[in-house]
Structure 1
Amino acid sequence: MNLLVTGADRLTYAGNLDNLDLDHPRLEFVQGDIRDAELVDKRMTDADQVMHFAAESHVDRSITGAGDFVLTNVAGTQALLDAALRHRVEPFVHISTEEVYGSIDSGSWPEGHPLQPTSPYSASKASSDLLALAYHRTHGLDVRVTRCSNNYGPHQYPEKVIPLFVTNLLDGVKVPLYGEGLNVRDWLHGGPLPGRRPRTHQGPPGGGVQHRRRHRTEQQGTHRPAAGGLRGRPGPGRVRRGPQGPRSALLGRPEQGPRGARLPPAPRLRHRPRRHRRLVPGQPRLVGAPEAAVRMRWPVTGAGGMLGRDTVDELLRRSADVVGLDHTGLDVTQQDAVEGLLAGHRPDLVVDCAAYTAVDDAETDEERPLRINGDGPRNLARACAVHGARLIHVSTDYVFAGDARTPYPEDHATDPRTAYGRTRLAGERAVAAEPYTSSAIVRTAWLYGVHGRSFVRTMIDLESRHDTLDVVDDQRGQPTWSADVAARLVDLGPHLGRGASGVFHATSCGEASWYELAREVFAGLGADPDRVRPVGSGAFPQPAPRPAYGALAHGRWQELGLPPLRDWRSALHEALPLIRKESSS
């Protein structure tokens, strides 16, 4: 059979070109999004038939954020069907899942069983099934729907259960099972079958086929020792449960948490590429690898500021596709401009560092900072939802009251005491309120860096011009190098939508007052720290009150297998020579 195959993929986090033989004379690869109607129509002009595999398919991610699933699985399918109908490309083979049937106590589902999806993922696939069949019934398009059971294979992304088991076991890490691990599942191998011909013309048009391999059915948990390590490695003390939320009985029905409880994280992926690739050839790079950002397209707003510039630099260092935008390149308060940006660049992820940060000026003119800090994030979140992009929004400790005595956890009640803090909280709420965007809010504080003005840079400049300095000693926080925050934003990006959503805190570990920070700067410059003298905040009256305590807790990074940022002193002493060199140039 002499076929010319055109493969298309958006190449998001799970895409891996190493799985394809790009030099094969009968393979053409197109990087693109199936929701791009113009691209799909162009590729459909000379096509003979369609096999539609593209889907967002990880159930746990659909529970934490359903937007990508609706957009890809439903809107993407519609774009393909419209183009196939327009150019009369048939048959149109639509690949679906057995999860559209919901739960079953025993036996197996016939093809005509009513659809009863129980998760956002399965609901989106059921919707695409019905849409595809409707094109047959309404327009006479030759559509075939085939529903597969749980599949696995050598090129599968390792958030899926079998490659996740393999990679975890190689690392001596316990494997994640749902409930008690006794749920029956069907397994269908997705590898090549030599000598088999494609069966795209089997079955009646408008019909459905279900593929299962009953002889591969197992009971998870029957061999409990497998949950431990290999080659004498110790097993776990207990097996972790999977995320809460609706699942089919075939996959297990985890215990329901209290209403409003935050979902626990998806199973953590481990990375040991050389070892893993020996067992799972062609496996894509895991989340957390230094190269994880390479295939993602990253616009960075506020790229003219301290953190924005460092984020662009970090992405370039990792060879990512980055678009840096300062306020002259993008006015985030203009919805049309934001929509145009995402439509033109079709990014995978947007990092929003744009902000109005003149704390004192905001007290007399709250309207302007509210447009930038409140309307801007809302515009970005809405545009990301429309175009299927993920969003990281940078915020501040000023959303808290600043009167605590221990670091604020991520879920602590907000209570801003300044106009600036209120506008930043408005931005957080706008991002969190957008239901169809996978997003994260990253709060940081007390930033200093090589680019732009900061307290540390001011201390460097003043040290050479004053014998003594009076510095406030009754405000405490976490001095944080912007380069460390930038690296963490890039690390976070590939995790979005896979358990990484909501609020994170990116500040250095440890605490200090401005007085203690100034002494550390002087010591790092080789100057006498006793030249710095402590004073109260009353010595420097300001229109906007500063938080007396702004330290942030860092508990959520552990869910992703990421450590908190390093101690503030370690970061400061690495940054000082760079800042000093920049300030003297």
Structure 2
Amino acid sequence: MLSILVTGAKGQLGSEIFFLADQYPFLNFIFVDKNLLDISDRQVVDDFFKEYEVDVIINCAAYTAVDKAESDQVMAKKVNHLAVKNLIDASSKQKIPFIHISTDYVFDGKGFKPYATDDPKDPQNVYGKTKMQGEDALFQSGLDNLMLIRTSWVYSSFGNNFVKTMLRLGAERESIGVIDDQVGSPTYARDLARFILESIPRINWEGVKTFHFTNEGVCSWFDFAKAIMDIKGLNCKVNPIPTENYPTPAKRPHYSVLDKRDTREFYRQEIPYWRDSLEKCLELL
């Protein structure tokens, strides 16, 4: 039985892996959050691996407060870059596979076709830059059996996210404005969690293998919000607005669609369409 360490266990993705864990009886999970394992502290990480036997690391921990990162750069780098290096060092010492989750924000968001896994990276905000630094740590390590998964627009029945915000606003207001000139692919964290867990037995390669995982299909934030209201039957009118009418501290990408061709070839299950997965999540909410 493989022993799987899952960091960021109380986040959206970590919570979904915890939910699915019983479906994988051949895996033994060790779930930790920052209170149980501070991955940004090198000595704490070293001590942990002396005490626990781990066969695979899944790093779901991340600093994801995109706007706050602009003024909290030290902490963002600490979690998204330096902590990743600590886990990579542990992976090297233990000679075990390491799965790391990254983001569409490592790209410039100025494209017009889905970003391939090897397209040039050019993040436009602090969050994206620190996540790119975390990715670079993987590629610079020279280790084998490293899996990098980029995703986007993640939501879940767990934690705080866009879907829950829209449900709250939809119940409170008669109308809301939502940006319609930023385009991407929503990702139900449970679908991403399943992809990760199904991949574990197949990790056996040289260096780093990069995958993009989102739900199928493309929409704007406006389309996403409209679908939430329609599916839940909320009488809240969603009005489209341009990005310039909703300024934020961090610059957002206008185009976040990721090319999943390599993922489709590798994955043995069909990737669900974004609206179908949204309906399943909303049933839980």
Superposition TM-score, scaled by structure 2 size: 0.95
Aligned partners of 2:238, 2:137: CA distance in 1, in Å? 42
Aligned partners of 1:443, 1:402: CA distance in 2, in Å? 14
Cα deviation code 1:35-85 (max 9, x no counterpart) = xxxxxxxxxxxxxxxxxxxxxxxxxxxxxxxxxxxxxxxxxxxxxxxxxxx
Aligned partners of 1:445, 1:478: CA distance in 2, in Å? 7
Aligned partners of 1:556, 1:501: CA distance in 2, in Å? 14
Correspondence for 1:343 among 27, 38, 50: 50
Seen in structure 2, the aligned counterparts of structure 1 residues 541 and 521 have a Cα distance that, compared at 3 Å, is same
Answering whether residue 122 of structure 2 is matched by residue 415 of structure 1, we say yes
Structure 1 regions of 5+ residues with no counterpart? 1-294, 581-585
Aligned partners of 1:350, 1:566: CA distance in 2, in Å? 26
Aligned partners of 2:197, 2:207: CA distance in 1, in Å? 13
Conservation of the 8 A alpha-carbon contact between 2:7 and 2:33: yes
Correspondence for 1:520 among 203, 227, 231: 227
User: Match for residue 22 of structure 2?
Assistant: 316
Aligned partners of 2:241, 2:30: CA distance in 1, in Å? 44
Seen in structure 2, the aligned counterparts of structure 1 residues 497 and 554 have a Cα distance that, compared at 3 Å, is same
User: Match for residue 306 of structure 1?
Assistant: 12
**1:562 Cα offset (Å):** 2.9
Aligned partners of 1:405, 1:509: CA distance in 2, in Å? 17
Answering whether residue 178 of structure 2 is matched by residue 467 of structure 1, we say no
Partner amino acid, structure 2, of 1:454: N
Correspondence for 2:241 among 519, 522, 535: 535
The within-5 A match list for 1:367-406 is 367-406=74-113
Aligned partners of 1:564, 1:412: CA distance in 2, in Å? 25
Cα deviation code 1:440-476 (max 9, x no counterpart) = 1101110110111111111111111111111110101
**1:498 Cα offset (Å):** 4.1
Seen in structure 2, the aligned counterparts of structure 1 residues 478 and 561 have a Cα distance that, compared at 3 Å, is closer
Conservation of the 8 A alpha-carbon contact between 2:103 and 2:131: yes
User: Match for residue 63 of structure 1?
Assistant: none
Partner amino acid, structure 2, of 1:517: F
Tell me whether 394-403 or 330-339 shows the greater mean CA deviation: 330-339
**1:499 Cα offset (Å):** 6.9
Answering whether residue 150 of structure 2 is matched by residue 443 of structure 1, we say yes
Cα deviation code 1:239-276 (max 9, x no counterpart) = xxxxxxxxxxxxxxxxxxxxxxxxxxxxxxxxxxxxxx
Structure 2 regions of 5+ residues with no counterpart? none
How many residues are paired up? 284
Conservation of the 8 A alpha-carbon contact between 1:557 and 1:564: no
Partner amino acid, structure 1, of 2:245: A
Answering whether residue 224 of structure 2 is matched by residue 556 of structure 1, we say no
> Max radius of gyration: which structure?
1
Greater helix percent: which structure?
2
Cα deviation code 1:144-181 (max 9, x no counterpart) = xxxxxxxxxxxxxxxxxxxxxxxxxxxxxxxxxxxxxx
**1:302 Cα offset (Å):** 0.5
Seen in structure 2, the aligned counterparts of structure 1 residues 382 and 312 have a Cα distance that, compared at 3 Å, is same
Answering whether residue 140 of structure 2 is matched by residue 433 of structure 1, we say yes
Partner SS state of residue 67, structure 2: helix
Seen in structure 2, the aligned counterparts of structure 1 residues 351 and 468 have a Cα distance that, compared at 3 Å, is same
Partner SS state of residue 464, structure 1: helix
Partner amino acid, structure 2, of 1:506: F
Superposition TM-score, scaled by structure 1 size: 0.47
Partner amino acid, structure 2, of 1:375: L
Aligned partners of 2:240, 2:45: CA distance in 1, in Å? 46
**1:344 Cα offset (Å):** 2.0
Correspondence for 1:565 among 259, 271, 275: 271
Identity value in percent: 32
The structure, 1 or 2, with the larger RCO (C-alpha pairs under 8 Å, 6+ apart) is: 2
Aligned partners of 2:152, 2:267: CA distance in 1, in Å? 23
User: Match for residue 454 of structure 1?
Assistant: 161
**1:368 Cα offset (Å):** 1.3
User: Match for residue 216 of structure 2?
Assistant: 509
